Amino acid sequence: MIVMVGIITFCTVAHSKSLTEHPATDAGEGWRMGVQAYSFKEFTFYESIDKSAAMGMNWIEAYGGQRLSKDRPGVKFGHNMPMELREEVKKKLAAANVKLVSYGVVRLSNNEVECRKVFEFAKDMGIENIGSEPKENAFDLIERLCKEYKIAVAIHNHPKPSRYWNPDMVLKVCEGRSKWIGACADTGHWMRSGIDPLEALKKLEGRVIYFHMKDLNVFGVRKAHDVPWGTGKGNLREIMEYLSKIKWRGAVSAEYEHNWLNSVPEIRQCVIFFNKMGAELNPSGWRNLLANDLSNCKLKPGSWQLNDNVLTRIGGGNIWTKDKYGDFILDLEFKVAKGANSGVLIRCGDLKKWVHTTIEIQIHDTGDGTKHGPCGAIYDCLSPKKKLPPMADKWNHMTVKAVGPQIYVVLNGEQIIDMNVNDWAEPHKNPDYVGTRNKFNTAIKDMPRVGHIGFQDHGDPVWYRNVKIKHLDK
């Protein structure tokens, strides 16, 4: 598939403008799938962030009382954390490119001092939704604070006989209230209470703020357990078709309360199901670059493998997409061993002569010793805007945007490359003030604007994960 230059908007930014941060890569437009950290209650909040990032989710919902980190087992996440811990959490989230979008289920009462603490915390952390099960006499205060802070409160439903197990009770307390009061729809708890989730959602149309999404092995049994989405009795396909029909937009938290110590493989299946449905019903344009069996790639047998969403170099040459790409945004994470070298190769025009027909974004621990060889450089042409720290033995996040002659690179949250290839108008010559030499027999300006995407085998250990792409169509 060939994609030419386009002028549309992406995240409200025109294509002609630079990419200055990593984009969200949800497959469904406006459907922001994340994980409720309670799914990892046997782990720390920091481990929950890492697990979410490994599954390619940009969003997370926190709950109060989870251990914060391994090295401080006595410290717990919550709205009573001091400011210095909040700042640390923000840095951890930013490094993982995960946004804290919801917080719950937390107690909200008609005590303004205590209630305001929660809202102040949510505002400081950038939280959009607070999940709670307040008493009826608290809603006048809660709605006033919602409007003041512009943060929604979503009424959660625990199973029968909890206060809000029946959607009729949620509707009752929402009656006459503003858009800031609505439902945190827990599909699994409805099933445990003998309520059809789809019928409950139809009752609550216009009031669902976000989800605790579940699929259970049986219906109407309190001890039912979670199963991968689409394999249980929750009719999740019909639910998503309904959400598409009514044009619902919002956050979906995967709350997986089963197989506590090893739930990631099952949650990953939920992600796959959700992304597949999102791409079918409400496509954002984002998709996985690589097929699970690498059948959409050109490579020597046994040279690369893709397991559990991680592409691993084995040895034996580069791996290339069969499709060609023109204007696009490519988003991925990479990890290299100490001193290791690789590259992200874009717009390759000739696989047999790829060295002189391809732009390479350098992947390295630090650099290969050449002038334009540091990690993130447009190899042999343009170095990052600043000196970067070593990249070895950790996952790093890279986004590459190619639009016509413009190439932008964001690495670990910071734009490091802003290149117009038309400035490289001569072979073997860079357009700096001394005209430093590069290796290319073809002027970079004259290299193809449409071509294959590849990952370089430079003989060193390298791993890529969550490799996603979005065409920028006309």
Q: What is the pLDDT of residues 164-195, one digit of tens each?
A: 999 999 999 999 999 999 999 999 999 999 99
Same domain, 52 and 174: yes
- Domain limits for position 258: 27-283
Strand pairing class (31-36; 13-14)? unpaired
> Mean pLDDT throughout 380-409?
95
What CATH code is carried by the domain that includes residue 175?
3.20.20.150
Do both 140 and 49 map to the same domain? yes
Shared domain check, 101 and 52 = yes
Residues 259 and 337 in one domain: no
| Residue that is last in its domain, among 226, 254, 283 | 283
Q: Is the pLDDT of residue 2 over 60?
A: no
User: Cα–Cα distance between 67 and 52 in angstroms, integer?
Assistant: 16
Buried/exposed 226-263: b ≥16 CB within 10 Å, e otherwise: bbbbbebbbbbeebbebbbeeebebbbbbbbbeeeeeb
pLDDT above 90 for 214: yes
Taking every pair of C-alpha atoms in the chain, what is the biggest distance, in angstroms?
77
Instruction: Note whether 37 and 168 are same-domain residues.
Output: yes
Tokens standing for residue 312: 């691993």
Q: Is residue 4 in a domain?
A: no
Contacts of 440 (CB under 8 A, 6+ apart): 356, 380, 381, 427, 428, 447
Banded pLDDT at 73 (limits 50, 70, 90): confident
pTM strictly above 0.85: yes
* Same domain (yes/no): 241, 310: no
Give residue 434's pLDDT.
Answer: 82
Please answer whether residues 264 and 465 qualify as being in contact, where contact means their C-beta atoms are separated by less than 8 angstroms. Answer: no
CA angle 264, 267, 270 (to 5 degrees): 155
Same domain, yes or no: 341 and 207? no
| Same structural domain, 401 and 260 | no
5 vs 23, which has greater pLDDT?
Answer: 23
Q: How confident is the model at residue 136 (pLDDT cuts 50, 70, 90)?
A: very high
In tens, the pLDDT along 339-361 reads 999 999 999 999 999 999 999 99
Residues 326 and 195 in one domain: no
Query: How many domains, the chain?
Result: 2
Whether residue 162 lies inside any domain: the answer is yes
Q: pLDDT class for 474, splitting at 50, 70, 90? A: low
Question: Is the pLDDT confidence value at 3 over 90?
Answer: no
Report pLDDT digits (tens) over 7-18.
Answer: 222 333 334 578
Q: State the DSSP string of 52-116.
A: HHHTT--EEEE-TT-EEETTEEEEE-STT--HHHHHHHHHHHHHHT-EEEEE-S----S-HHHHH
Domain C-terminal end among 228, 256, 283: 283
Regarding whether 110 and 248 lie in a shared domain, the answer is yes
- pLDDT of amino acid 8: 26
Same domain, 390 and 346: yes
What percent of the chain has a predicted confidence (pLDDT) above 70?
96
Average pLDDT value for residue range 75-99: 96
Task: Indicate if the pLDDT at residue 96 is higher than 80.
Answer: yes
Please, what is the average pLDDT of the chain? 94
- Do 197 and 328 lie in one domain? The reply is no
DSSP structure class, residue 158: P
